[in-house]
Amino acid sequence: MKKKRKRYKIRIERLAFSFSVISMLILLVLNGAISIFSSSKGKVNDTTLLVKSKQSFVVCIDPGHGAYDRGTESASGVFEKDIVLKVGLKVGQILENNNIKVVYTRKDDETILGSDDREDLKKRVQISHDNKADVFVSIHCNSYKDASIKGIELWCDEPNTKDELLAKDIQNELYKLKYTEKRNIKYQSNSPLYVLKNNDAISALVEIGYLTNKDDSKFITSKDGQAKCAEAIAKAILSFKESIKK
């Protein structure tokens, strides 16, 4: 009888130990699930435009002009090269925050890409090619002898292409800011642009406004205006990325 009690006691202890181990495992699994859920929620930021994804999408940001090439100029003496550099760097920062790989044709005002205009443009396209960019966006400001002319102007390769879809996405997001007019999209086949014609990536060139127009110039030379333009361009690129995935 004592032996039976002893065996029974041992069985009870073993069952208790097994139950304890199983309970611990269940708790560990539940805690892990809660941690994963919490951490994934923590990744969502109010300033994040889209949920982060795998870093397999490459965007080349091309702030136009630079160094000796000032581009156009506002009435108050602000150069195009400085405006588009600030906008371009901000676009890249937003994209990087969304786990997009970003390459730049220039990140400062000292970079000289070529000894002449053609060599400069060739180098910009080469940077895009070398980094196997999926998307190339060149950022500029516009000018015209008639100071009443204003608006957002987009250039792309051809109608009914992914390039046009990207251009339209950028145009629409910028137009939502309501700081200027929306002009017709232009195609490089009518007036060839080197960075579009010779680029393997899906490409668009955006003119964010006319520095020769008082209203456009006031907005795009301001810190707030530049930040809003950058956010709109970045949002358009992220939206375009999702649309071509579908």
Q: Based on the domain organization, do 4 and 123 belong to the same domain? A: no
In which band, very low, low, confident or very high, does the pLDDT at 26 lie, cut at 50, 70 and 90? very low
Q: Based on the domain organization, do 65 and 180 belong to the same domain? A: yes
| Angle in degrees, CA 122, 90, 76, rounded to 5 | 85
Residue 143 has what pLDDT?
Answer: 98
Residue 115 has what pLDDT?
Answer: 87
Q: Based on the domain organization, do 66 and 150 belong to the same domain? A: yes
In which band, very low, low, confident or very high, does the pLDDT at 55 lie, cut at 50, 70 and 90? low
Q: Could you give the 3-state DSSP secondary structure of residue 143? A: coil
Number of domains within the chain: 2
Range in 86-90, 191-195, 231-235 with the lowest mean pLDDT: 191-195
Residue 165 has what pLDDT?
Answer: 98
Which two tokens mark 45? Answer: 């930021």
Residue 104 has pLDDT above 80, yes or no: yes
- Kindly report, residue by residue over 129-162, the tens digit of the pLDDT: 999 999 999 999 999 999 999 999 999 999 999 9
Q: Based on the domain organization, do 107 and 32 belong to the same domain? A: no
Burial (CB count <10 Å: 0-12, 13-18, 19+), residue 207: buried
Flag whether 13 is in a domain: yes
Q: How far apart are the first and last CA of the chain?
A: 74
Residue 39 has what pLDDT?
Answer: 41
Domain region containing 228: 58-245
Q: Based on the domain organization, do 36 and 133 belong to the same domain? A: no
Residue 72 has pLDDT above 60, yes or no: yes
Residue 64 has pLDDT above 70, yes or no: yes
- Kindly report, residue by residue over 196-227, the tens digit of the pLDDT: 999 999 999 999 999 999 999 999 999 999 99
Report CA-CA distances (Å) from 241 to 16, 69, 98, 181, 223: 55, 32, 12, 26, 27
Residue 84 has pLDDT above 80, yes or no: yes
Residue 188 has what pLDDT?
Answer: 86
Percent of the chain topping pLDDT 70:
78
Residue 41 has what pLDDT?
Answer: 34
In which band, very low, low, confident or very high, does the pLDDT at 76 lie, cut at 50, 70 and 90? very high
**Residue 88 and residue 104: Cα distance in Å, rounded?**
8
Q: Based on the domain organization, do 170 and 216 belong to the same domain? A: yes
Q: Based on the domain organization, do 189 and 73 belong to the same domain? A: yes
Flag whether 52 is in a domain: no
**Residue 245 and residue 143: Cα distance in Å, rounded?**
36
* Mean pLDDT, rounded, of the chain: 85
Residue 46 has pLDDT above 60, yes or no: no
Flag whether 51 is in a domain: no
Q: Could you give the 3-state DSSP secondary structure of residue 215? A: helix
Residue 228 has what pLDDT?
Answer: 98
In which band, very low, low, confident or very high, does the pLDDT at 20 lie, cut at 50, 70 and 90? low
Q: Based on the domain organization, do 22 and 114 belong to the same domain? A: no
